[in-house]
Structure 1
């Protein structure tokens, strides 16, 4: 359509179902209008059929996903106004439109979506790896995005992903530079903690990384574990020094490998 509003109006007047027609990629005209920022055409298509904004292509992308990837803030407003539930649709790895906004460093579009939807569950949503948008912003060293997110009460600053990392954990494992120092100060000031320093609770969850890279979760109910008798002297157990050193090294290697893998993969998006 190349942004020609009058031409689009004429087509829709003669063919009302045009808004829902799919191309070979499973995309509607609204997908293309959203990706290219054609606000007036997007309005016409939504007026013709608001359900068009809920259609996902063969890769699972809705018009909102494309708009967030491209940073089309005005399109984001139109899509969410037409069907607010479009913001709930996730991609194949559990990413929301907000995850895409952070992955592609689209802060203004991110702000628009957060403040238009006003859904706390969406803001603190985790993808299939357990990453929140704060995890991704920290991984990409996006200082302004982190500042914005820390101002939102919905954001869980100490949420842990499936690898057991909080946002502060990610920052702590980066080589120190000015961005890392500022990110750390922002997070700590907002109450961020390293995951290993979290207060203990009655239930403790441990994520074990197996050699086949599939995570197993062990849940221990502390309340169900018998406490030692008050008459019994406490017994301390120590691991052999060499074994303890191996565990520490494996944990550090795992953290560094995950952070490097995540930073590289964030740049490879459809």
Structure 2
């Protein structure tokens, strides 16, 4: 503002008197008191005589452009405001650096009495012959295009809002374009103020920034306010912002986060995405979606500028409740495509929205879109394989309506995409991309039609280097765990539960519970834990030695992992059996509870691994049968090789107890 930039600085005595001094001090100063105001001598015959010193004093402004009237208005000093106005009436409409008037400052501070006074002063000017002075004052806009009513709403001051609306009943219609007072009240959740604005002017403005309207803000703020606006004006559902979004697009776009029940000590943060709460308790937009559809069902068929319909936005945000409402109220939404030719199922798969994919796959009415292809010929299964989402893949794979061999425009089948989209490296067997390939192989899914010697690429030096790096890094951490297991198993072999027999006993120095069935199981479990962990450490030595060739390192690395699982399982079993032996004779209930808790913690410790394995067996066996899975998949072999220690621990003990126990001398049996 040029006028503010060229204005002189406010005299310190005037600033102090306006902010903290008494009214008499300010009046004395304005009447020619102590302030020493420099007087410039200017000879200009075309201008009137130089104004008195008090008027020059009031021409000064603060660094942000506030005049004396701005300051006293902000502090709510009514008498001072009258005194300043009497000396300089033109300050009533003066603007500061931000374009705000004294009325803006009074409204922002929530001084309803000061706002009323300023309006009264403007009305006095109307009596003096300046028509429309009140309307001009209250409708003056600052640099942001906001009136004093906006400032009062932002401060949440209902009395000030009432004063301004009483001065100009049509003030809520200003500005014509941009953020209206109603939009601001809705966005700040001032429902009472919104009601007051509508009560005083039924034709108020609903506009907001970027082409939005108040309903766009309401659906993201409050259900009650959304219902209120729909009762006032149902046409708001048809209004689109600059990007083509309707209020329904906003209502279904509230992204839902996925969290488990366990607390997160290391919280992952993605720029632009809000973190989720511990219990993932968020307000569901189901009722908002229903409200908008009841007001205007056609809004479900209105796309944005990118061609995305509300059903696509809901799938993108992971809002299952909104998807269900949209599909139940408007079944035609299921086949709607965006500019890429994708249905809501394609979008849900790409964003890994498992709940929505599961709902679509379990609902028979959506069978027609299971194999629908986008502009590139990809079905939902193609995309699930490409992004490597195991959970969405299982839903599609379990649905027998899904074609596993349908090629896209590049003639690539899902299995071909699975092969080509998996980067070179060494993977865990339960890695999502490996499980996807295992499932497709078990179902005998086809590959791209071409020469197999061209499709297959031999190992490269680069791939060998990646595998070598993975093995070298993994052996360090795996070795620490295996050494710990070996140490624990070794110590347990000489600190047996129940202790040892006395030296004067027939079998002095031997374990007291040596003839107990459970104790024999404990010994077998502990021995297997020691043997498996020791052999696993030896295999890790070969796997981590750079001088050994890659194939042998790879083989021993796999052996060490297999034996590690066996060692952990055996050690855990030995622990449970030892607890059972020591506590059961005294408190059997506690022993059972300890074993239950221990088993539960083991399952909770690695839920994703167990869940993935179980899910694989269920969906693959359900699709292709048990025999093909046994013949084509690695999973049954892995499961069998993992649980064999349990078979040895309990099977050998039963065999020995039934067959070998009969050969123990009768005298020894009686003694023991």
Is TM more than 0.5 here? yes
Secondary structure of residue in 2 paired with 1:27: coil
> Which structure has more helix as a fraction of its residues?
2
Deviations 1:162-181 (A, max 9, x none): 11111111222333633333
Candidates 436, 439, 450, aligned match of 1:186: 439
Aligned to 2:250: 32
Which of 341, 354, 359 does residue 94 from structure 1 map onto?
341
Match of 1:213 in 2: none
> Comparing 112-121 with 58-67, which one deviates more in the overlay?
112-121
Q: Distance in 2 between matches of 1:115 and 1:56?
A: 27
CA distance in 2, matches of 1:116, 1:45: 25
Counterpart Cα distance in 2 of 1:169 and 1:14: 56
1:119 aligns with 2:366: yes
Structure having the larger proportion of residues in strand: 1
Higher deviation after alignment, 98-107 or 178-187: 178-187
Tell me if structure 2 keeps the 8 A contact 1:3–1:38.
no
RMSD: 2.3
Matching of residues 161-240 of structure 1 within 5 Å = 161-173=408-420, 174=422, 175=424, 177-178=427-428, 179=431, 180-196=433-449
Structure-1 separation of matches of 2:359 and 2:222: 26
Give the direction of change, closer, same or farther, for the CA distance of 1:23–1:114 in structure 2 (3 Å limit): farther
Q: CA deviation at 1:24?
A: 1.5
SS of aligned partner of 1:58: coil
Q: Which residue of 2 aligns with 1:4?
A: 222
Cα deviations by residue, 1:205-238 (Å, 9 ceiling, x for unpaired) = xxxxxxxxxxxxxxxxxxxxxxxxxxxxxxxxxx
- Contact 1:53–1:63 (CA<8 Å) still a contact in 2? yes
**1:4–1:41: 8 Å Cα contact kept in structure 2?**
no
Instruction: Report the Cα distance in structure 1 between the residues aligned to 2:363 and 2:332, rounded to whole angstroms.
Output: 12
Normalising by structure 2, we get a TM-score of 0.29
Deviation at 1:248, TM superposition (A): 3.5
Larger Rg: 2
CA distance in 2, matches of 1:18, 1:79: 19
TM-score, length of structure 1 as denominator length: 0.70
The aligned counterpart of 1:15 is: 233
The alignment partner of 1:119 has SS state of helix
CA distance in 1, matches of 2:390, 2:240: 39
**Aligned-pair distance for 1:116?**
4.5
Are the aligned partners of 2:361 and 2:396 in contact in 1 as well (CA < 8 Å)? no
CA shift in 2, pair 1:49/1:113, >3 Å: farther
1:81 aligned partner: 328
CA distance in 2, matches of 1:185, 1:153: 17
Gaps of 5+ in 2: 1-217, 255-283, 458-672
1:196 is paired with a residue whose SS is coil
Offset of residue 7 of structure 1: 1.1
Per-residue deviation, residues 103-130 of structure 1 (Å, max 9, x unmatched): 1111112222344572222111111111
1-structure distance, mates of 2:416, 2:241 = 44
Structure-1 separation of matches of 2:444 and 2:237:
48
Partner of 2:304: 57
Choose which of 227, 248, 260 in structure 1 pairs with 2:454: 248
- Count matched residues: 204
Aligned equivalents of 1:31 and 1:115: distance in 2? Answer: 26
2:360 and 2:366 in contact (8 A); partners too: no
